[in-house]
Structure 1
Amino acid sequence: EYDDKEAVITGYFPKVHDHESYIFYGEFKEHPKFGLQFLANHFRKDIPQTKQGVVSYLSGELFKGIGKKTAESIVDKLGENAISRILNQPSLLDEIPKLPSEKAKL
């Protein structure tokens, strides 16, 4: 078990973004020079599942021009699983009132 709020994660993976959540899989190892580290052998992005989490994600840094009100209208129309639905069927964004098509393609 690990009780600290922070951990050093090591491994080989593409760039991760500061404002996104990830789930890492692996094990803790004691590095002779740097101490306890989590050696990740793989990871996945943690997609938010609550209305507040999805609104924060969609109105965050990754989607320039999508503010909180637009993100709320997306979640109101598509539900809390909006991210998964959009990934599977991007044309769903056409149903969002007042969402310009250039923002829907971000």
Structure 2
Amino acid sequence: MNVQVENPHSSTTAAFIRTVTNVGPEKSTYKAVVKAPKDVKVTVTPDTLVFNKVNEKKIFKVKVQGPPMEDTLVLSASLEWIDSNNHKVKSLIVISNMVLPIGI
């Protein structure tokens, strides 16, 4: 998830909606774990995904709020979905005050 800052003098807000598909055991529960700098707030809704079958799809929303980026080029965070068997699915979150190459 990439947020491109339009105005580096104001705070940043972005929202992403994502769909995930269960490819693991049919009964799986994943909890969201966010790692972010103290001045970046990341909210995941819902923060728990409960799957009852293989190939079941779930939708979640990620809201990112960051500080003005006047003196900062890039801030990064991560969202990890972790189940009770320690399976992990990780997504990176990038807030940038510059043009990034295609593919990031």
Q: TM-score range by the shorter chain?
A: under 0.3
TM-score when normalising by structure 1:
0.23
TM-score when normalising by structure 2:
0.24
Greater relative contact order, per chain length (Cα 8 Å cut-off, separation 6+): 2
Return the structure number with greater helix share: 1
Return the structure number with greater strand share: 2
